[in-house]
Structure 1
Amino acid sequence: MAFYNSRETLVDDMLSALLQTTELEHLATSEGTAVVIRAGHEPGTDPGDDQVAVISGGGSGHEPAHVGFIGEGMLTAAVPGSLFASPPVSAVLEAIRSVTGPAGCLLIIKNYTGDRLNFGLAAERARQEGYAVETVLVSDDVALPEIDQPRGLAGTVLVHKTAGHLAASGASLEEVASGARRVAQSLSTIGLSLRAARLPGASTDTSRGAELGLGIHNEPGAQPVEVQGASDAVAAVLSAVAPETIDEGSGLVVLLNDLGGCSPQEGLVLAHEVIRQLGQQRISRFIGPVRAMSSLDMHGFSVTLAPARPDLLEAVDAPSSAPAWVPAVALTPPRRRSGGGQSPETPDESRSEGPGEDSDGNSVWQVSTDGRLEAAADNACAALIAAQEELDELDRVAGDADAGTTFSAGAASVSALLQDGGLGFADPAAGLARMARALETGMGGSSGVLLAILATAASRALAEGSSGAEALGAGIASMQHHGGASEGDRTMLDALIPAHRVLASGGGLTEAADAAAQGARGTAELEAKAGRAAYVPGYKARDTQDAGAVAIAKLFRALSDSLEG
C-alpha cells in the first residue's frame, strides 16, 4: 500500500496541492490537459522587453520534476503527462502559445521516444503559427554507452537551470539554446537502486534486487549489483560514471539525486561517500542530497557529474524562485571549535583527592585504600557486559532491542577508565563525577543520560557531606525530576527505589540487591508510563521484565557479591 487515492487521480491530486502552496498557475487548455505556468507571467509584446520562454515536461511520477522547477531563473512552464507517459502534443502547443513572446521559446526535452515526438511535433506546429522555437535534447544517461539514444535523467535539471538563467539575463533564443545544449552535452548521470518503484495499484515486483543503470520509468538496470552499504553503492556508481573522463581541470559540478525512496539519513550518508570518494578538492559545486527527478518511491539514487565550466557555475550560483531548486554549494572543510571549560565547583579532577601523577609524570587517579571499591565497580561493569544479549532480548518489546547494548557500552567505558587508571574512588565524590561523564559520553541513549544525572547529583551530595544512602536518594530524586518517571512506571526506578529504601533504613547491599531484583520482577506486571516502552501497547510487554530494571538489579547484585559476599 502507498498513500495514493488512485492511479487515475494521482496527477490531479498532486497538482491540486502544488497550485495551492506555490506561486504557480494552472492553464485552462482546450482539451483539459495539464499545463502549469509561472504565476503572473505574461509574454511581452515589445522585443526589447521580452525574455525567452523555457518549457519542459514529461511523464508524471518524477516529482518535483518538472513542475517544481518553474520559477524565476528556471522554467516558464511545464507540461506534465500522465504517470510515466509523455504529455500530448496539444498540451505542449498550448503551453508554447501561452508563454511565448517575440523573444521565442526553448523546449527542453528528455531523450525518450514519446517526449521527442510529442514535443517535436508541437515545436513544428508552433513554428507554422509563427513562433520562434528551439529545442534541446538531454541524454545524460551513461548506463548503456553502446546505444545511440541515451536516456534523459536528473541532469536535465541542470539544463533547466542553465537555460532559465540565460533567459533571465536577457540572452537571445540562439544564445539560450546554445548554452543549454553545451551543458546538456557535458552531463553524465547514472543511478543505482535497491528495488524497483511501486506503481500505484500494482503489486511490488520482488524479483528485482539491486541494479545499476536503471531507468526512471522502472526500466531494468544495465546490470544487477551486490552492494554492502553506502560506500559500495557510491563506488559502483562513480566507477560507471567515470569522473576522470569529465573533469577538465576546473573541477566538477555534482548533483546527488534521490530517486524517491531514500531516507534523509541515507541521503546524508550517500553525500558523505560521494564527497569522500570524489575528493572535496575536485568538487567545485555540490547539489544535494535532493529529490530533483524521482521515480515514484524507487529506493535508490543517481549521481550527475559535469565539468565546472564558468557558464554552468554562473547558472547554478544564480538564485531562482523555483520551489524545488536547492542551491549549489561550494564545499568547505568541516567546521569545528574547541569545547568550553568546566565549572571549578565540579567535584572531579580539580579536587586534591582526585588524580595524582605516577613516576613518569602521567596523571593517574588515586584508588581507595584497599582497592575494593574499584574492584566492585569493575565486577559490576563485567556483569552488565555479560548480560547484553539477555537485556537486548527483554528490550525487544519496546521495538529497538538495544538496552543491553546501551548498558554494555556504558559499562565498557567505565571499565576502561578503571583499567587505565583514569578512575578511582579515594574520593568517592570525585570518582562519581568522573564516572558520570563516562556514562554521558560512552553509554548513549536516555538510560546513559539518566544514570549520568544520578551519578552527578549523588556526587554533589557526597561532596556536601551526605552519607552514601543519602547521596543515592539525591541521585534518584534528580532522575525523577528530569526524567519525569516514578516508581510503578516500569523503568529503572522500579529497581532503584526499592534498593534505596533498604539502604536508607540501614540495610546492607545484599538486602538492597534482593529488593532490586524483586522490583525488577514486578515490572512484568506493570504498564509502562514513561520512556519509549510507554509508546508500546501494554499487551506486548505483558509478562516481560523491564530491561532497565533488570540491569539495575544485576548491578546491585554484582556490587553486593564483591563487597559483602
Structure 2
Amino acid sequence: MADLVINERESWVNDSIDGTLYTQQHNNLTRLDFGNDIKVIARSDWQKDKVAIICGGGSGHEPAHAGFVGKGMLTAAVCGDLFAAPSVDAVLNAILHVTGDAGCLVVIKNYTGDRLNFGLACEKAKEMGRNVEMVIVSDDISIPENPKPRGIAGTLFVHKVAGYVAEQGEDLATVTKAAQDTIDSIASIGIALSSCTLPGDDSADRIAAGKAELGLGIHGEAGIETIELRQCKELVSIMSDKLLTACPSERHAVLINNLGGLSPIEMNVVTKDVVESNLGKNAELFIGPAPLMTAIDMKGFSISIIKLDELKRQALLSDTVTAAWPGVSKKQTVAVTQCESQSSQITFSPSQNEAVANALRTVCSTIIENEAALNHLDTIVGDGDTGSTFASGARKVLAELDANQLPLNEPGLLMTVIGQQLTTVMGGSSGVLLSIFFTAAGREFTATNNLVAAFQSGLARMMEYGGAAVGDRTMIDALYPAFEAWGANGFAAAVEAAKAGADSTLDMTKANAGRSSYLNSDTLNGVKDPGAFAVEQVFESLNK
C-alpha cells in the first residue's frame, strides 16, 4: 500500500479541518467548538432565517462534506473520524446550533452507523422542540435489487437541490419533498483500479494488476464484480449502460467524480468517454470532472446521473458560495479551428557547386564511416547511439546531395535546408542542437557572407539553447577552439585545435551536460567524448 502524508491518525481529521479553515476562499466557515471532540464545520454567516441543511458522516471523503458548506448548499457538516459515523452528540449539537424556526433537514447516506446516529440525534432534537426531518440517500446501483443501496456521490445532487429550495425561503416540508424527489431521481456507480490506503494498514491491495473492481464502495468496500482492466471507453460504456438501465432518462445531468487517486489527464479521458457514451448523448449538464466525494486516494472514478425537471435544472445552475462545488457546464461540442500550418517549409531551387558538393560529401562520408566507433564510445559514456544518430543525419544529407536536391551554390540557404532536414531524421537532442546550429549559421552567412563568423554564430545559439559550454565534455569542446583558430590562423590551425579540444575530454572526469552527466568519474576517465571525436574526424577529413 502507498504511504500517506499524515501527522498522527488521531489528529488527521482535525488537521484537515484546520487546513480547510486556514485557506477558505469565502471567509464564511467556522468550526463549532463544543469543548470536546465534536467536529462540525458550519456557515459563519448563517442567520437561522431559512431551513438549515445538515449532512455529514465519516471523514476520508474530502471535499465532502465540509467543502459543500456555504450559501446554496449545506449549512453545516458533521465530521466523524476516518470512515466512521459521527457521534449522536455531535449531530445533535450541530442541529441545535443551526436550527431556527424554519426547521432543519438532515441528509445522510445509507450506512447503518449514519442511520442510527443521525436518526437518534434527530429524535432527540424533536423532543427538544426542533422541527427536524431526515432523508436517506441510496444512489448506488451496483448491486441489482439491493434492498439497502449505499449512498455515494449522487448525494451531492441532493445537497444542491435541497440547498437551492431552502435558499428560496421554502418551508421544511417543501425542502424535504424536493430532497426526496431528488433521491428518487438519481443513480451512481463507481469503478477502481486500486483500493484506498488506510493509516497503519500495510496489507497489499486486493485488486490485482490488470483488474478493476466495479461497484466498490467509498470506504474501500469490495466491488460487486472484478473485471479485466480495459480501455477507458469500455469501462465507461459498462457503467453508462448500467446507469441508464437503473435510471432511464432522456433529459439528465451527469456528475463525474474522482475517487481520489486519478490524475487530471486520466479524469479528462474519463470525461471525454462519458460525453461520447450513451449516457452522454442525452445529458444537458455536466458537473466535474473533479474530486467531489473521494475515498482517500482510491484510484478510480464514479459517475452519477440525475433526471432533470425545471426545478432540478435551476437548482444545479444556481450559484453557491462553497469551496468545492465546481459549477455546472452545459454540453458543448469540441471546438476546433481549422488552421493552415505556419511551420516554415523552405522552398528553393537546387543548384550545383562542385567544391561545396565535395566538402559536404566528405563530411557525411566521414561521419558514416565512424558510426561504429562513435557508438562504441557512447556505449561507455552514454546510451550507445551517437554514431547511429549522427549517421542517420549524414545519410539524409548525402541522399539529397546524390539526388541533386540541394542549393549548393547558396551556402546560407544550404545550411538552413540542412538544419531543417536533420530534425526529421535525427532523434533526441542532437538533431535539434545541430538544426539550431545550421539554421543560425545559415542566417548569419546570408547577412555577412563570412563562413567562420556564420559557424561561430551557430555555435553560440547551440550553446545558448542547449545550456552546455566549453569544459562540459561535449562536442563544443572541439567545435569552439576549432572555430576560434580558424578565424585567427586559418583552417589548418582549426584542424589542430579540433583535435586538441577532443583530446581534452579524455581527462574530463565530470560531464555537465548530456547523458554523461549522470556517470561517475571512473566511467569517464580516459574516454573521449563521442561528439568531440566526431568533430575531430570531420575537420581532419576536410584537411586531406
Q: TM-score range by the shorter chain?
A: 0.7 to 0.9
Residue type matched to 2:11 in 1?
Answer: T
Q: What CA distance in whole angstroms lies between the structure 2 residues aligned with 1:268 and 1:422? A: 49
Q: What CA distance in whole angstroms lies between the structure 1 residues aligned with 2:394 and 2:120? A: 71
Equivalent in the alignment of 2:453 = 470
**Are 1:58 and 2:81 an aligned pair?**
no
Equivalent in the alignment of 2:101 = 102
Residue type matched to 2:213 in 1?
Answer: E
Any conservation in 2 of the 1:378–1:418 contact (CA below 8 Å)?
A: no
Task: Select between 102-111 and 505-514 the one with higher mean Cα deviation.
Answer: 505-514
Q: What CA distance in whole angstroms lies between the structure 2 residues aligned with 1:302 and 1:151? A: 13
What SS is found at the alignment partner of 1:224? strand
Taking structure 2 as the reference length, what is the TM-score of the superposition? 0.80
Within-5 A mapping of 1:351-370: 354-355=347-348, 366=350
What SS is found at the alignment partner of 1:194? strand
**Are 1:221 and 2:230 an aligned pair?**
no
> Structure 2 unaligned runs (5+)?
none
Equivalent in the alignment of 1:187 = 186
Select the residue among 423, 436, 439 that pairs with 1:453: 436
Q: What CA distance in whole angstroms lies between the structure 1 residues aligned with 2:229 and 2:370? A: 38
Residue type matched to 1:92 in 2?
Answer: V
Q: What CA distance in whole angstroms lies between the structure 1 residues aligned with 2:192 and 2:396? A: 43
Any conservation in 1 of the 2:189–2:243 contact (CA below 8 Å)?
A: no
How much has 1:551 moved relative to structure 2?
7.4
- Deviation per CA, 1:407-428, whole angstroms, max 9, x where unpaired? 79x969988x969x99844444
Any conservation in 1 of the 2:481–2:494 contact (CA below 8 Å)?
A: no
Residue type matched to 1:32 in 2?
Answer: D
Equivalent in the alignment of 1:311 = 311
Aligned-pair RMSD on alpha carbons? 4.5
How much has 1:30 moved relative to structure 2?
5.8
Residue type matched to 1:40 in 2?
Answer: D
Residue type matched to 1:479 in 2?
Answer: M
Q: What CA distance in whole angstroms lies between the structure 2 residues aligned with 1:550 and 1:332? A: 53
Change (3 A) 1:469 1:304: farther
Change (3 A) 1:495 1:106: farther
Equivalent in the alignment of 1:254 = 254
How much has 1:499 moved relative to structure 2?
6.3
Equivalent in the alignment of 2:123 = 124
Equivalent in the alignment of 2:91 = 92
Select the residue among 196, 211, 214 that pairs with 1:212: 214
Residue type matched to 1:3 in 2?
Answer: V
- Deviation per CA, 1:347-376, whole angstroms, max 9, x where unpaired? x73xxxx435xxxxxxxxx37567775997
Change (3 A) 1:481 1:153: same
> Structure 1 unaligned runs (5+)?
44-49, 357-365
Task: Select between 158-167 and 489-498 the one with higher mean Cα deviation.
Answer: 489-498
Residue type matched to 1:506 in 2?
Answer: F
Change (3 A) 1:376 1:140: farther
- Deviation per CA, 1:507-556, whole angstroms, max 9, x where unpaired? 59998997786577666x2143x68997xxx6x5545569xx96746875
What SS is found at the alignment partner of 1:12? helix
- Deviation per CA, 1:241-277, whole angstroms, max 9, x where unpaired? 4447646333x42222221122233333333333344
Q: What CA distance in whole angstroms lies between the structure 2 residues aligned with 1:206 and 1:473? A: 59
Equivalent in the alignment of 2:5 = 3
Change (3 A) 1:390 1:101: farther
Q: What CA distance in whole angstroms lies between the structure 2 residues aligned with 1:148 and 1:375? A: 83
Residue type matched to 1:38 in 2?
Answer: R
Equivalent in the alignment of 1:37 = 42
How much has 1:460 moved relative to structure 2?
0.6
Residue type matched to 1:91 in 2?
Answer: A
**Are 1:16 and 2:27 an aligned pair?**
no
Any conservation in 2 of the 1:89–1:118 contact (CA below 8 Å)?
A: yes
Any conservation in 1 of the 2:479–2:535 contact (CA below 8 Å)?
A: no
Within-5 A mapping of 1:185-334: 185-209=184-208, 210-227=212-229, 230-239=232-241, 241-243=242-244, 246=247, 248-250=249-251, 252-277=252-277, 282-330=282-330, 331-334=332-335
Residue type matched to 1:314 in 2?
Answer: Q
How much has 1:65 moved relative to structure 2?
0.6
Any conservation in 2 of the 1:142–1:190 contact (CA below 8 Å)?
A: yes
Change (3 A) 1:222 1:512: farther
Change (3 A) 1:495 1:526: farther
Residue type matched to 1:214 in 2?
Answer: L
Sequence identity (%)? 36
Q: Which has the larger Rg? A: 2
Select the residue among 20, 25, 28 that pairs with 2:30: 25
Change (3 A) 1:57 1:459: same
Equivalent in the alignment of 1:166 = 165
Residue type matched to 2:47 in 1?
Answer: E
**Are 1:176 and 2:171 an aligned pair?**
no
Change (3 A) 1:453 1:174: farther
Task: Select between 7-16 and 498-507 the one with higher mean Cα deviation.
Answer: 498-507
Any conservation in 1 of the 2:292–2:324 contact (CA below 8 Å)?
A: yes
Residue type matched to 2:299 in 1?
Answer: H
What SS is found at the alignment partner of 2:441? helix
Select the residue among 471, 476, 481 that pairs with 1:488: 471
Any conservation in 2 of the 1:255–1:304 contact (CA below 8 Å)?
A: yes
Equivalent in the alignment of 2:72 = 73
Q: What CA distance in whole angstroms lies between the structure 2 residues aligned with 1:315 and 1:118? A: 29
Change (3 A) 1:61 1:465: same
